[in-house]
Amino acid sequence: MIKWAKVLSTPALGTAIAFSSITTSHAAEMKTAKAETTEHVSISQAQAKGIALQDCKGTVTSTEFKQESSVYVITIVTNNLEQRIVEVSASTGKVVKKQEVKLWTQNQVKESVSKQYKGAIQSITFNKETREYTLTVVDGKVEYTLTVDGLTGKVIHENKKELQLMSEQKIKEAIVKQYSGYVYSLEFKESASQYVAVILKNSTQYTVTLDAFTGKVVNTSQQEVKVLTRQDAKDLALATYAGKVKIVEYDQNAAIFTVKIIKDNTEYTVTIDAVSGEITHVKQDKLQPLTENAVKDLALKHQEGKVEHIELITENSITVYVVTLVSGSKQQTLKFDAYTGQECS
């Protein structure tokens, strides 16, 4: 049997040979190009970053490799909040191009935002990674959190929320964090949405105005004030409740004096404002006189001997025990407050 073989014509055969040659040649060129590209990249991305940072101090925010030009494009935000674009050759490690892009300053951003929002700017921060500013603006009962593009100065995001009026307790807590004194008074001014606090610390009086929604201090002033002495407090209490002063105490944290006075069978606890001198509170407690045995023990602690006589009398509006002691040939008379046990002259 004769087998038929397909024979290519001369033109067709030439075309086939030519195509084969071209394909082989093209493959060789591609291989060479690939080898050349591989040879060009001798610097790593990390090395390129280091080279760029040596040339320009700051924070790297992005890195890109451009294969067609075999360079690393590195974006850096400097400590002065300026953006620099540095191109580093991937083959030589040399800086081949530098470009400076001005970022908006804080003052420029504040000025721009103030034209768009009526409230007060509470805070502003800058993120080097995103090249964005974040601002907090309070306008009455509304708080805005804004994100501003550092390159264009445009507000790219806005978050709005209604604020709640802070309670007096919360305001006091906010004050205590900033001042170590005593909150002498606190007043809410509805028309201005503010609290006005008066704080006492030793002899200094601070007047602090706070935003009623945020607790932020918006104004402060201070002045020296006269605080009552212990003798002043004692005299004020006795002027109202004549008797015998048992004790005078001062609470520096609350700026008040507490004076205890015994009159007849009543103990008066008088609270006095240390700044104004006003008696703010009075408490009365009925007392029971000490027993004779208790008074005898007090007398014998003062003087050794034998108690010969003891008597309860009222003298100069004060109830006292009169105790007669005998020691050998000596006789002594002692007097004790019937309620406090204090020796009377």
CATH of 45-101, one of 3.30.200.20, 3.10.450.40, 1.10.357.10, 1.10.1060.10: 3.10.450.40
Burial 54-67 (b: 16+ CB within 10 A, else e): eebebebeebeeee
Residue type for position 157: H
Cα 205 to the center of its chain, rounded Å: 22
Distance CA 144, CA 137 (A): 5
pTM more than 0.75? no
Distance CA 167, CA 144 (A): 21
Indicate the pLDDT class of residue 183, thresholds 50, 70 and 90.
confident
Number of C-alpha atoms within 13 angstroms, CB side, residue 131? 24
**Structure token pair of residue 302:** 């003062």
Q: Domain-by-domain residue ranges, the chain?
A: 8-40, 45-101, 106-162, 168-224, 230-286, 292-344
Burial 255-267 (b: 16+ CB within 10 A, else e): bbbbbbbbbeeeb
CATH of 106-162, one of 3.10.450.40, 3.30.70.100, 3.40.50.620, 3.20.20.70: 3.10.450.40
Indicate the pLDDT class of residue 11, thresholds 50, 70 and 90.
very low
pLDDT tens digits, one per residue of 101-154: 888 999 999 999 999 998 889 899 999 888 899 999 988 889 999 999 998 899
Is residue 303 scored above 70 in pLDDT? yes
CATH of 292-344, one of 3.90.1300.10, 2.60.120.10, 3.50.50.100, 3.10.450.40: 3.10.450.40
Residue type for position 223: Q
Average per-residue pLDDT for the chain? 83
Phi first, then psi: what are they for 196, rounded to 5°?
A: -115, 115
| Total residues belonging to the chain | 345
CATH of 168-224, one of 3.40.1160.10, 3.10.20.30, 3.10.450.40, 3.30.43.10: 3.10.450.40
pLDDT tens digits, one per residue of 220-233: 999 888 889 999 99
Collapse the DSSP code of 249 into the 3-class scheme (helix H, G, I; strand E, B; otherwise coil) and give the result.
strand
**Structure token pair of residue 33:** 């190009």
Indicate the pLDDT class of residue 19, thresholds 50, 70 and 90.
very low
Domain boundaries 230-286, corresponding CATH code: 3.10.450.40
Per-residue pLDDT, 40 = 61
Question: H-helix or E-strand containing 199?
Answer: strand 194-201
Is residue 2 scored above 50 in pLDDT? no
Average pLDDT over residues 157-171: 91
Apex CA 343: angle with CA 341 and CA 345, to 5°?
145
Edge-to-edge strands, sheet with 142-149: 120-127, 132-139, 142-149, 155-162
**Structure token pair of residue 182:** 């005593």
Other Cβ atoms less than 10 A from the Cβ of 90: the count is: 22
Residue type for position 327: S
